[in-house]
Amino acid sequence: MSSDNLKSQEAPQLTPEEINRYSRHILLPQVGSLGQRKLKGAKVLIVGTGGLGAPLALYLAAAGVGLIGLVDFDLVEASNLQRQIIHSTRDINRPKVASAQDRLKSLNPDIKVVTHNVRLSAANAMAIVKNYDLVADGTDNYPTRYLINDVCVLLGKLNVYASIFQFEGQATVFGAPHGPCYRCLYPSPPPPGLTPSCGEGGVMGVLPGILGSIQAAEVIKLIVGGAEPLVGRLLLVDAWRTLFNELRIEKDPNCPVCGPNPTILEPIDYEQFCGLNREPEEIIEEITATDLKDRLDRDDKNLLVVDIREPHERSLYPFPKAKPIPFGQLARRVDEFEGRDLVFICKIGQRSLYAIRAMRRLGYPGRALNLQDGLAAWAKAVGDPPPPY
């Protein structure tokens, strides 16, 4: 979408009340009355109402974007409130889209908010996205990012993208005819389990506020027109050191989605593409927290618990009887295991699955077991509070 897609005669008129509400925008010559009318006539879809979607949605609502669509299927949890400022304590266990809708309407009752309380998928994405002018990606997983990218390219919609992890974030605009798409920057996803989620690796609470606000600024600029958006430019943010850098992104002439000879002509199986639903090479043996506790209590000398979490995770919830080896160090430290029965542990028992598969590829001769449901199950079994991250 560009300003040319929203002609002045199509932009709705402003009421006297709206002129007063948006007067600080209208005073800007780059926006003016016409720009504010374009905002009123715009339809923006926000995928995700979490860390990024929260400030993004609030600022777009405050700016007077006439129709905001929200896609999310999660419920509000207490751990969300450290950064997801659109929700409040009283919203815990409510659908995020319902909580977000109430907050946006209380901020600006003149806008329309449409909720999609579903997981965005290859089956429904085209039908949802086609009804909006542009999309803002506030998701936190690779399958949905690739899905949003591909659907936006197929439908000719711009994709205002951001991602965050710990203290760092990035933002850009994908899908412009002359610019790159997400696949141009990341042709393929990283191996499953290699990159921990924010739930496992943590995130500075204000970081999504910074990146979500940048997304909101890009959306507003694209609707109003006349500015230089982040097309072909990847903005890198380091909140810990307060550094901003920029990288140029080139359009890939061989991109299977946005290239001149595309091979992806419809949404695909993104779980399969990202390696999340591949059949395991063989059944992975698991051990329950109760059985693990029993073997540790018996001081089983043939058992070694391997904690593959990062140091900052272990500091929040230590497991003293485990050997700490972060996931990325396994390959070069396999000789330390001496053929014993290994039990791999992480927060929820997901990264440990990939660790076991990595050990098998390395030819480890001993047993490798996964702690079923991870340290969350261990805490419940031994009567500890759950891991506080």
What residues are labeled active site? 198, 346
Q: Which residue do the tokens 């140029």 mark?
A: 248
- With b for 16 or more beta-carbon neighbours within 10 A and e for fewer, the 258-284 pattern comes to bbeeeebeebeebeebbbeeeeeeeee
Burial bucket for residue 28 (CB in 10 Å: 0-12, 13-18, 19+): exposed
Q: Enter the tokens of residue 61.
A: 């609502």
**Spatial separation of the C-alpha atoms in residues 384 and 203, rounded to whole Å:** 24
Residues 54 and 208 sit within 8 Å (Cβ to Cβ): yes
DSSP 86-149: T--GGGTTSBHHHHHHHHHHHH-TTSEEEEE-S---TTTHHHHHTTSSEEEE---SHHHHHHHH
- Region at 236 (left for phi over 0; alpha for psi -120 to 50; beta for the rest): beta
The sign one gets for the Cα dihedral 291, 295, 296, 302 is negative
SS3 string, 325-347, reads CCHHHCHHHHHHHCCCEEEEECC
The sign one gets for the Cα dihedral 168, 193, 331, 376 is positive
The sign one gets for the Cα dihedral 97, 98, 103, 108 is positive
